[in-house]
Amino acid sequence: MIKEGNCPRASILIITLWVLGFLTILVVNLGFMVRTQLQFADHLQDRLKMYYLARAGIERAVVELYKDENKSYDSFNEPWANKEEFFRDFAFGGGFINLKYKTGSQAAQENITLYGVMDESSKVDINNVPLDILTILLERIGQVETEEAIDIARAIVDWRDIDIAVLPGGAEDEYYQGLSSPYKCKNGKFQILEELLLVKGMTPEIFSRIKGIITVYGTERVNINTASFDCLYALGLSSSLCERIIKFRQGSDEACGTEDDFIFKSPSDLMAVGSLFTEEATQINTLISRNMLTVKSDTFRVDSLGILRNEKGDRSREIICVLKRQEEKAPKILYWHEN
């Protein structure tokens, strides 16, 4: 039994134990909060570091583009387009920089990864390409039936032109305003590729097939030194001619972006790919006469990855931008997206 004189001491002991318990809980919670805040601060610091690593990758790309000594043509075997030691896992500032892109076509079994900057002129500019080429592109690459391809191509032209006249099978404001979720026909140039999904007849499936070979950045002409099989095929060249152009361009080692690559110095050099059938020569001459081909580029896509590595694995942050190279001036940014 607790004697009467010991009651105050017992009460003090119980209170002390309660206070200690409360303080213990408080310290544990405070420790957890501090640890969480420190982890969050580390996370923000790492995100910032990865961001500036990705920015540094873009600056590396810009430097390499402006060091380009070949003013008359652009091709895969130049350092800006394919320089693995400069653009692949380059150690910098406690992390790594990685710039890479894919070129080619799975169908033609020439889809490979290159380390550098992508030539945006290796694609078809849907803001400038003629109606008939749009139709061919939708048929051959979009896998759309001829009549449907014609209608979608006309709807694309109606969307990008400034008039309100409706092409047969196309669409202007009247069609789009009549939809359950109405919107206006733009009557102006496409600013991003995803705008195509607003056009009458365009589906996500068709878009996914063609998005890799189209651009909206005012390239106007296709660079035959960097165009893929799919891009050349979308211009109306026969599949066998496209294959011969790719193989001829790769040189004796049959590899893209190496020293022995054959460089087209002018669109007319396409005639050098070997014996041409009359129809193939006509296809080439038609594209040349319509001023749809080039060997030079000024617009480039940079996909820069800033990477931090530890025992738990890689973490990265990506910046994608499209730049227009300008003589003796900083490049003009046409597109910028951060992931």
Per-residue pLDDT tens for 264-281? 999 999 998 988 899 999
Q: Which helix (H) or strand (E) element contains residue 114?
A: strand 112-114
Decide: 225 and 298 in contact? Cβ < 8 Å: no
CB contact at 8 A, 50 and 98: no
What is the distance between the alpha carbons of residues 212 and 163, in angstroms, rounded to a whole number? 29
Neighbours of 320 (CB within 10 A): 16
Query: Tens of pLDDT along 156-193?
Result: 999 999 999 999 999 999 999 999 999 999 999 999 99
Run of H or E including 209: helix 204-210
Domain ranges of the chain: 1-123+219-339
202 vs 158: CA distance, rounded Å: 13
Give this prediction's pTM.
0.84
Judge whether 129 and 218 are in contact, CB under 8 Å: no
Q: How far is Cα 131 from Cα 116, in angstroms, rounded to an integer?
A: 33
**DSSP codes of every residue in 226-268:** T--HHHHHHTT--HHHHHHHHHHHHTTTT-TTSTT----SSGG
What are 189-232's pLDDT values in tens digits?
A: 999 999 999 999 999 999 999 999 999 998 889 999 999 999 99
Q: What secondary structure does DSSP assign to 143-173, as a single string?
A: ---HHHHHHHHHHHHHHHSSS-PPPTT---H
